[in-house]
């Protein structure tokens, strides 16, 4: 017993399962494509992402030294992207009534972010235009927003970014009216 090596009995050896070779191993069943998520899961993901983007937009606007509301900022962007406009055209672009656009523009004129000029062709018409100070606000807000979105993108693995771009492009297309005139630089 001391130096003798105990050999397993044939019963023990036969009871053990034999190790399979690679050729004998069954392939794991892996679906070629992950199952499509339920609509509720997609809706929740879009709402979560939109909440994050709205928070970024609000922070980029809130850190502006000028006291500009989101609707006022939209007005500045429409004028920045689309050039001078008649009040009725501006109201239409913003999707608000002319009286609401008038009150908003009155505030922006007082802040010297928008100017009123008589139309050169039709002196009865008044054109609203963004001032250099208004353009600076738009540029500053866009710069802050791009920096924060850049930090978000930096946290996303490089290998997944093409999928993100494709998904967001698809979502923006499904939304229909690209918000270029509503949000302009940094949003379109």
Question: What is the pLDDT at residue 24?
Answer: 59
pLDDT digits (tens, 9 = 90+) for 36-65: 889 999 999 999 999 999 999 889 888 777
- Three state DSSP letters for the chain: CCCCCCCCCHHHHHHCCCCCCHHHCCCCCCCCCCCCCCHHHHHHHHHHHHHHHHHHHHHHHHCCCCCCCHHHHHHHHHHHHHCCEEHHHHHHHHCCCHHHHHHHHHHHHHCCCEEEEECCCCCCCEEEEECHHHHHHHHHHHHHHHHHHHHHHHCCCHHHHHHHHHHHHHHHHHCCCCCHHHHCCCCC
Residue 40: Cβ within 10 Å count: 8
Tell whether pTM > 0.85: no
pLDDT tens for 131-140 read: 999 999 999 9
Higher pLDDT, 23 or 175: 175
Matching CATH number, 65-153, of 1.10.645.10, 3.40.309.10, 1.10.10.10, 3.40.980.10: 1.10.10.10
Q: What is the pLDDT of residue 135?
A: 95
Q: 75-108: per-residue pLDDT in tens?
A: 999 999 988 999 999 999 999 999 999 999 999 9
- Residue 5: the pLDDT is 47
């Amino acid at each position: 017993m001391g130096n003798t090596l105990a050999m397993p009995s044939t019963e023990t050896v036969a009871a053990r399962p034999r190790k399979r070779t690679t050729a004998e191993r069954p392939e794991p069943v892996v679906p070629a494509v992950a199952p499509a998520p339920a609509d509720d899961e997609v809706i929740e993901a879009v709402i979560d992402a939109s909440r994050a983007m709205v928070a970024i937009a609000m922070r980029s606007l809130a850190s502006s030294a000028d006291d500009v509301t989101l609707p006022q900022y939209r007005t500045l962007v429409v004028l920045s992207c689309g050039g001078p406009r008649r009040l009725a055209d501006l109201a239409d672009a913003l999707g608000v009534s002319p009286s609401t656009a008038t009150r908003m523009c009155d505030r922006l004129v007082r802040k010297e972010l928008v100017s009123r000029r008589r139309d050169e062709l039709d002196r009865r018409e008044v054109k609203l235009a963004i001032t250099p100070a208004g353009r600076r606000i738009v540029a500053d807000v866009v710069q802050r927003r791009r920096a924060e979105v850049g930090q978000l993108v930096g946290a996303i693995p490089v290998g997944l970014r093409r999928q993100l771009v494709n998904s967001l492009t698809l979502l923006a297309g499904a939304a229909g009216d690209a918000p270029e005139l509503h949000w302009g630089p940094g949003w379109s």
